[in-house]
């Protein structure tokens, strides 16, 4: 089931990239095809000099706008995917740790103790990494969630009130991208929480009844720690999970309903 969800998310990401690229290409190609490059700008930017009806200057500005747009896209995509990618890596480390806990050897007590100690140390390192992640990115994620909530609402409102097909396509694409910007880190944070919750199950799935009693005490203490799963938190003690994404969408819809009611 999780593999199916992951594949669908990947397909959605590719579809959004194709749609976004198509619209960007259409925006920049249209002035060339209509031969209005010296009259209109693909992106409405104000320049402190006259560029109208100057072919070479218009082409220079055209190339400049393309370069800036591509650079900004790369930066924005890199920033948006970095946070989620770090969380997915942490989730992979937790899953690997779970398999190691499940495969603890019971043939020799000293070997079990050494393997268990390594697993406990790795869990502590992962836990510290998550706390460091919260310390660095919690503020950024909070502002991103609030900004995305507002942008989802405003882009949907602008899409409904768009007067031209070109504006409709731009706002529609932006409307599709903004929820994904919130969904990806929420999905990755949810993966961390789920992998952490399964560690206790993996530990109990090992052959712990066969180990010595003194080692069972170590296992019991560690299980108490695992009973509190790792959950990434940000601003106002919100949890970075899938239900947070639904809350953002719900708040966006409420703001949209208020704007619609204000126009009546």
d(CA 108, CA 76): 52
Q: Tokens 């949810």 correspond to what residue?
A: 190
Please say whether the beta carbons of 138 and 235 come within 8 A.
Answer: yes
Residue 62 C-alpha from the chain's centroid:
32
The length of the chain in residues reads 264
Q: Which domain holds residue 122?
A: 2-262
Which whole-number Å values give the CA distances from 141 to 65, 131, 137, in the listed order? 29, 14, 6
Q: Per residue of the chain (264 residues), what is the pLDDT tens digit? A: 456 556 655 665 666 666 666 666 666 666 666 667 777 777 777 778 787 777 788 878 888 887 887 788 778 777 778 888 888 889 888 988 888 888 887 777 778 888 888 988 999 999 999 989 888 888 888 888 888 888 888 887 877 877 777 677 777 777 777 787 788 888 888 989 999 989 888 888 888 777 777 777 888 888 888 888 888 887 765 788 888 888 888 888 888 777 777 665
How confident is the model at residue 124, as a pLDDT? 92
User: Cα-flanking dihedrals φ and ψ of residue 52, to 5°?
Assistant: -60, 140
User: Cα-flanking dihedrals φ and ψ of residue 47, to 5°?
Assistant: -120, 140
Which pair of tokens denotes residue 215? 């080692």
How confident is the model at residue 1, as a pLDDT? 45
How confident is the model at residue 144, as a pLDDT? 80
| DSSP assignment of the chain | -HHHHHHHHHHHHHHHHHHHHHHHHHHHHHHHHTT-TTT--SS----SS--TT-HHHHHHHHHHHHHHHHHHHHHHHHHHHHHHHHHHHHHHHHHHHHHHHHT---S-HHHHHHHHHHHHHHHHHHHHHHHHHHHHHHHHHHHHHHHHHHHHHHHHHHHHT--SHHHHHHHHHHHHHHHHHHHHHHHHHHHHHHHHHHHHHHHHTS-GGGS-HHHHHHHHHHHHHHTS----EETTTEE-SHHHHHHHHHHHHHHHHHHHHHT-
Domain count along the chain: 1
* Residue 220 CB-density burial (10 A; 0-12 exposed, 13-18 middle, 19+ buried): exposed
Q: Tokens 């509190």 correspond to what residue?
A: 228
Please say whether the beta carbons of 234 and 141 come within 8 A.
Answer: yes
Q: Is the pTM of this model over 0.85?
A: no
User: Cα-flanking dihedrals φ and ψ of residue 262, to 5°?
Assistant: -70, -25
User: Cα-flanking dihedrals φ and ψ of residue 41, to 5°?
Assistant: -110, 140
């Amino acid at each position: 089931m999780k593999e199916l969800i992951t594949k669908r998310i990947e397909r959605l990401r590719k579809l959004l990239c194709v749609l976004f690229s198509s619209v960007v290409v259409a925006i920049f190609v249209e002035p060339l095809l209509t031969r209005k490059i010296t009259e209109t700008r693909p992106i409405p930017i104000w320049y402190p000099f006259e560029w109208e009806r100057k072919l070479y200057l218009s082409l220079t500005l055209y190339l400049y706008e393309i370069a800036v747009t591509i650079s900004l896209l790369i930066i924005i995509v890199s920033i948006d995917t970095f946070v989620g990618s770090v969380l997915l890596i942490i989730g992979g480390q937790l899953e690997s740790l779970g398999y190691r806990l499940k495969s603890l050897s019971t043939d020799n007590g000293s070997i079990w103790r050494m393997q268990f100690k390594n697993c406990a140390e790795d869990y502590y390192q992962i836990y510290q990494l998550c706390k460091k992640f919260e310390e660095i990115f919690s503020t950024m994620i909070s502002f991103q969630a609030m900004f995305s909530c507002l942008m989802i609402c405003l882009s949907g409102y602008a899409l409904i009130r768009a007067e031209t097909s070109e504006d409709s396509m731009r706002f529609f694409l932006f409307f599709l991208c903004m929820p994904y910007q919130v969904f990806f880190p929420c999905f990755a944070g949810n993966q961390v929480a789920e992998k952490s919750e399964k560690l206790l199950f993996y530990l109990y799935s090992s052959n712990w009844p066969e180990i010595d009693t003194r080692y069972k005490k170590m296992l019991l203490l560690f299980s108490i720690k695992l009973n509190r799963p790792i959950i990434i938190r940000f601003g106002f003690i919100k949890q970075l999970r899938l239900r947070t994404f639904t809350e953002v969408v719900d708040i966006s819809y409420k703001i949209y309903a208020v704007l619609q009611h204000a126009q009546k």
